[in-house]
Amino acid sequence: PTLFCQTQHRSLPSLRKRAMHPEIEIHPLTAAARGIAAGDWVALETKSGGMRARARLNVNLDPRVVVGEHGWWQACTELGAPGYDPFSPTGSNFNATVDTTDRDPISGTPAHRANLCEIRRVPA
């Protein structure tokens, strides 16, 4: 759920209790083909890097698409909810999955919204 403002406010208990961990939305058929159930920790990987989050199933997604939220570096100590190191391979940083060398010739920016990836279940 979109509760936060960009990367801010994950340390606020009133918001964090509604979204305790980073999530990646995935179609149930795509999840089933990979042995992923709702709430499982998953690794999303591209040729550039990877990140981790919990799976949330969404029947409204195209089965070829996954969707996630960025900005999970803040902890919420009042709820015992961890922060996720944005520079760790086991962190939750979508920027780590972006190929920064492949840039749009007009704007000069990398493709942040559409990247080929694979997703797999990982231990919690």
pLDDT in tens, 84-123: 988 887 899 888 899 888 888 999 888 877 889 999 999 9
Indicate if the alpha-carbon torsion angle 110, 46, 52, 64 is positive or negative.
positive
Of 19, 39, 21, which is closest to residue 84 (Cα–Cα)? 21
3-class DSSP state for residue 62? coil
Total domain count, the chain: 1
| CATH number reported for the structural domain that contains residue 39 in this entry | 2.40.40.20
Is 5 within the bounds of a domain? no
What are the pLDDT digits (tens) for 7-25? 777 878 888 788 889 999 9
Enumerate residues 6+ apart whose C-beta is below 8 A from 48: 96, 97, 98, 99, 100, 115
What is this structure's pTM? 0.86
Is 69 within the bounds of a domain? yes
Owning domain of residue 47: 13-99+108-121
User: Is the pLDDT at 30 greater than 90, yes or no?
Assistant: yes
